[in-house]
Amino acid sequence: MIEVEGLHKRFGTQVALQAVNFAIPAGEIFGFIGPNGAGKTTTIRILATLALPDAGTATIGGIPVAQDPHAVRELIGYMPDFFGVYDRLTSLEYLEFYAACHGVPRRRRRAVAHELLELVDLTDRADDQVDTLSRGMKQRLCLGRALVHDPRVLLLDEPASGLDPRARIEMRELIRELRRMGKTILVSSHILPELEELCTWVGFIDAGRMVASGPMSDVRNQVLAGRRLRVEVVDPDEVKLLAARDQIDGRPGVISVHLVEDGLEVAVEDGFKDQDLLIELVRAGVAVRSFAPVTGDLSEAFMRLTGRPAESVT
């Protein structure tokens, strides 16, 4: 649905994008991840037809963004990271106004506005002025604004920025519902744990370059090479943990063994038979409380890809 090839963009002497490439299949939620200044917003603005690349191509639904922006705008709904609202309009009037801007027939505008207010759970605020809404409500209203023409693709730049935990959960569930409705969604965010729960595909950008992209599980496996197992020991102390480590360190298929709180973390090669390790520990008299694979998260993947601490994107 979205294809980006060799995208370049420069602002004066500042290079914003360097040969950016990625693709997003239809019906996926793509998490666009990177530190501030990495090129996320520039890329999204190009896809939204608000900026032109210096080189490279971007297509949405097979339509070149730079060559036919009007056709692309029919396909996309764009929610920027900072948005203006008409404070004196009611929520209903606000959506009706944008429906008119997108050419929705007059006879349909009010019905569309009511449908969207129900979708974003603002039906009871239809007659309230926009300036009386909380930040979370305004965020949901602006997402409704992006949906007035029923676009196939959504470009969401920091949709949960500044929201409290409850409002973030509501926004996350709303994005999931939009995917169930058949939308393809690109979402940029600094809140990596939430992207990990939400997204099916992911792309990392750093200093204007894509450093990884693809299905969530594939990227994690690619970046966090090998598999890891967490072994927790009953009544752990240093002597027991060292003995357990020595029992398995160096055996075929074991890459490394590290002491962690309450046990060990063991990196193993793909194809390693986990049950053999557990059997060996038990036979050696190690009292194992739990034995489970460890799944690397997006924060760790980000740190490995960019060499920056995960805190810079949280």
| 3-state SS string for 148-193 | CCCCCEEEEECCCCCCCHHHHHHHHHHHHHHHHCCCEEEEECCCHH
Q: How far is CA 56 from CA 19, 53, 177, 208, 238, in A?
A: 7, 7, 33, 14, 57
- Would you say residue 25 has pLDDT above 90? yes
Q: What confidence tens digit (pLDDT) does each residue in 116-143 have?
A: 999 999 999 999 999 999 888 998 999 9
Q: Note the pLDDT of residue 276.
A: 84
- Strand ranges of the sheet holding 29-33, from the earlier edge strand across to the other edge: 76-79, 153-157, 184-188, 29-33, 201-206, 209-215
Q: Are residues 43 and 115 in the same domain?
A: yes
Give the residue from 188, 222, 256 where a domain finishes. 222
CATH number, position 46: 3.40.50.300
Partners of 3 in beta bridges: 23, 59
Q: Note the pLDDT of residue 152.
A: 96
Q: Are residues 188 and 267 in the same domain?
A: no
CATH number, position 238: 3.30.70.100
Q: Are residues 182 and 76 in the same domain?
A: yes
Q: Note the pLDDT of residue 307.
A: 63
| 111 inside domain | yes
Give the residue from 199, 222, 245 where a domain finishes. 222
Residue from 136, 127, 63, 135 nearest 95 by CA:
127
Q: Are residues 189 and 244 in the same domain?
A: no
Q: Are residues 125 and 50 in the same domain?
A: yes
- Would you say residue 312 has pLDDT above 50? no
Q: Note the pLDDT of residue 258.
A: 81
Q: Are residues 19 and 78 in the same domain?
A: yes
Residue from 160, 196, 231, 158 nearest 301 by CA:
196
| 89 inside domain | yes
Q: Is the pTM of this model over 0.75?
A: yes
Span of 78-87, 104-113, 185-194, 206-215 with lowest mean pLDDT: 78-87
| 167 inside domain | yes
| 314 inside domain | no
* Distance separating the N- and C-terminal Cα atoms of the chain: 29
What's the domain range around 265? Answer: 225-295
Under 8 Å between Cβ of 178 and 185: yes
- Would you say residue 39 has pLDDT above 50? yes
Q: What confidence tens digit (pLDDT) does each residue in 149-172 have?
A: 999 999 999 888 778 888 888 888
Q: What angle do CA 228, 232, 238 make, to 5 degrees?
A: 110
Residue from 2, 98, 244 nearest 117 by CA:
98
Instruction: Provide the percentage of residues in the chain whose pLDDT is more than 70.
Output: 93
* Number of domains, the chain: 2
Q: Note the pLDDT of residue 66.
A: 93
Partners of 168 in beta bridges: none
Q: Note the pLDDT of residue 53.
A: 95
Q: Are residues 47 and 177 in the same domain?
A: yes
Q: Are residues 285 and 188 in the same domain?
A: no
Under 8 Å between Cβ of 234 and 287: yes
Residue, of 131 and 302, whose pLDDT is higher = 131
Q: Are residues 259 and 287 in the same domain?
A: yes
Q: Are residues 126 and 210 in the same domain?
A: yes
| 300 inside domain | no
Q: Are residues 91 and 28 in the same domain?
A: yes
| 301 inside domain | no
Q: Are residues 218 and 168 in the same domain?
A: yes
Q: Note the pLDDT of residue 209.
A: 92
| pLDDT, mean over the chain | 87
- Would you say residue 20 has pLDDT above 60? yes
- Would you say residue 313 has pLDDT above 50? no
Q: Note the pLDDT of residue 282.
A: 84
Residue, of 224 and 274, whose pLDDT is higher = 274
Give the residue from 184, 200, 222 where a domain finishes. 222
| 310 inside domain | no
